[in-house]
Amino acid sequence: MNRMSDSERQTKEECLGEKLSFKSMFSFSLGNMGSALMSGIVYASISFYYTDKLLADSKLIGWGWILFMVWNTINDPIFGHITDNTRHKLGRRIPYIRYGAIFYGISFIFCWYPIVPLNNDWALMGNFLIVLFLFDTMFSIVGTCYYCLPNEMTTDPEERARLGVVNTILWIAAIGIQMAVPLVLLVEGTSEINPMFKPVMIIIAIISSALIFITSFFLKENEFAQTQDSEPFWEGIKKTLKNKPFLIFELSSFSLTLVTQTITTGIFYYLSDVLEVDLMALITGEQVRYDLGISLLIMLAGLLVGAGIAIFKIKTLGVKKISLLSFGSCAVGFAIFALTGMKSIENAYPASIGFFFLTMGAAGAMIILPAVTGDVIDYDELLTGERREGAYAGFNAIVTKPAISLANWAFLSLIDVFGYKENPISGQQTAFAKLGIIIAFTLIPAFFTAITTLIYKWYPLHGEWWRKKKIQINELHNQKREKYKKTCGNRNKI
């Protein structure tokens, strides 16, 4: 009888979806970090870059987001359907990740280099739309594949959880970088572009693209997913709409996207135009604001608390309770910040309480979201007998991508109503304009997170009933493994 070597045994285990090597998990997480870094920087800071650095009209940029929303909404379902039905020796997702990496990085660089006259607001709006169109196309192609890949790398729930922990750690690192770098280089109290900003963006593009490209060589998909029959596009949409837990999940996904987009966009305006700080001067010691330092530590504490609850309490509290806690915390945080925002112009301590609950809730919701996603897709597998991650990634984008545009449009439109000036020189914004920034930063997200918290009470995938269903799902996965063993057996010559 032939004995398998350790490498052959590991190959067989990964082929069957029973075991993921740390190399595979780290490679996936590192590549996903590169994608998250570029997308996070663009969607968080491009509005501020155009209005406060290029001095584009905030109202036109806001409407630019609405026009962009059309393409932003339809492209993910298209690419999700295409990747679901791809048949390639590398898998259904990996080819798009590997060969899309370089174009992803190039589109990121174009976001910061306008090719139109800067004194023409309509031309700037057109340039804004073009770069968003190009960048989001590449983000959708690569991002959809990363969204789907964990469930195709392994069918084992425990392995998915291990992958989720590694991915979360690097995801938190990506958030830190994507917020810190643009904030430091853009929030300076002047419309002049820091000479370091564009070179740093090029470096980030090169590093992120290289991470995506290189790590793709260490990824492996389970091949039985490719044995499924191709599914017509509209048939996939109909099946997805029959999954009622997914529809509840989509509201939370919409709210979370709107909240995080409002936080990451609004923080630039809050620091620059309300608190009137120069972050580079703070770093060099030319400007001193101890209250901001303490507030930042309080925000980080909220982030760690929220992440800790989502990661370490998921077994005892369950997905539903953590989701309720997370969105409830966000609603409370926004409400506190709305009441204390104007008092924080000279002293940021009052608002930091709201930021604690905001970051705690946002971190918990972001980390728990993949677990909720896995549950609703597993439930769909019970209904259809198939793994349809691409269809869900595409339909999820129909809901979440408009939230990105709506959050930016609502924020920019509201601050324009309150008299916001596209001139970031310190002291130029009136008290009324500063109030508008605080209102835009708080009220709409507070409403959606509060509604989501209430509706999540009807989320059905929890309790003893769902635990029994998970047993059925595991049995279904075991059947698929057994069916696929022959392929792996022929390959490994047991």
Q: In the prediction, which pLDDT does 494 show?
A: 44
Side-chain-facing half-sphere of 345: CA atoms under 13 Å = 16
CA–CA distance, 335 with 350 (Å, rounded to integer): 12
Separation of alpha carbons 301 and 298, rounded Å: 5
Q: What's CA 451's distance to the chain center, in Å? A: 21
Query: How big is the CA angle at 467 (ends 464 and 469), to the nearest 5 degrees?
Result: 115
In degrees and rounded to multiples of 5, residue 123 shows phi and psi of -65, -40
Instruction: Report which of residues 132 and 235 the model is more confident about.
Output: 132
The Cβ of residue 9 has, within 10 Å, a number of other Cβ atoms equal to: 14
Tokens at 459, concatenated: 């989320």
The answer, yes or no, to whether residue 241 has pLDDT greater than 70, is yes
The predicted structure's pLDDT at residue 190: 76
First-to-last CA distance in the chain? 8
pLDDT in tens, 385-416: 777 766 777 677 778 888 888 899 999 999 99
Structure token pair of residue 493 = 């010559």
Phi, psi of 28 (to 5 degrees): -60, -50
**Residues in CB range of 262: below 8 A, 6 or more apart:** 407, 411, 440, 441, 444, 445
Q: What is the pLDDT of residues 186-217, one digit of tens each?
A: 887 777 888 999 999 999 999 999 999 999 99
Digit-coded pLDDT (tens) for 79-120: 766 776 667 677 778 888 999 999 999 999 999 999 999 889
Higher per-residue confidence, 40 vs 347: 40
Instruction: Please provide the average confidence, as pLDDT, over all residues in the chain.
Output: 81
**pLDDT > 70: percent of the chain:** 81
Residue 210 · residue 38 · CB < 8 Å: no
Where residue 224 falls among pLDDT bands split at 50, 70, 90? low
Spatial CB neighbours of 446, under 8 Å, sequence gap ≥ 6: 331, 334, 335, 338
Q: What angle do CA 8, 12, 14 make, to 5 degrees?
A: 120
pLDDT at 141: 87
Predicted confidence (pLDDT) at residue 289 exceeds the cutoff of 60: yes
Model-wide pTM > 0.85? no
Q: Which residue from 233, 197, 22, 196 is spatially nearest to 112, judged by alpha carbons? A: 197
Contact status, residue 365 vs residue 256, Cβ threshold 8 Å = yes
pLDDT band at 222 (very low <50, low <70, confident <90, very high): low
% of residues, the chain, pLDDT over 90: 22
Using CB atoms within 10 A of its CB, is residue 425 exposed (0-12), middle (13-18) or buried (19+)? exposed
Please give the domain boundaries of the chain with CATH numbers for all domains.
22-217+231-488 (1.20.1250.20)
Band of pLDDT at residue 14, cut at 50, 70 and 90? very low
What digits encode the pLDDT tens for the residues 299-346? Answer: 889 988 998 888 788 878 888 899 899 999 999 998 888 888 766 666
Examine the pLDDT at 373 and tell me if it is beyond 60. Answer: yes
Is residue 153 a contact partner of residue 28, using CB atoms and an 8 Å limit? yes
pLDDT in tens, 40-70: 899 989 999 999 899 999 889 999 999 888 8
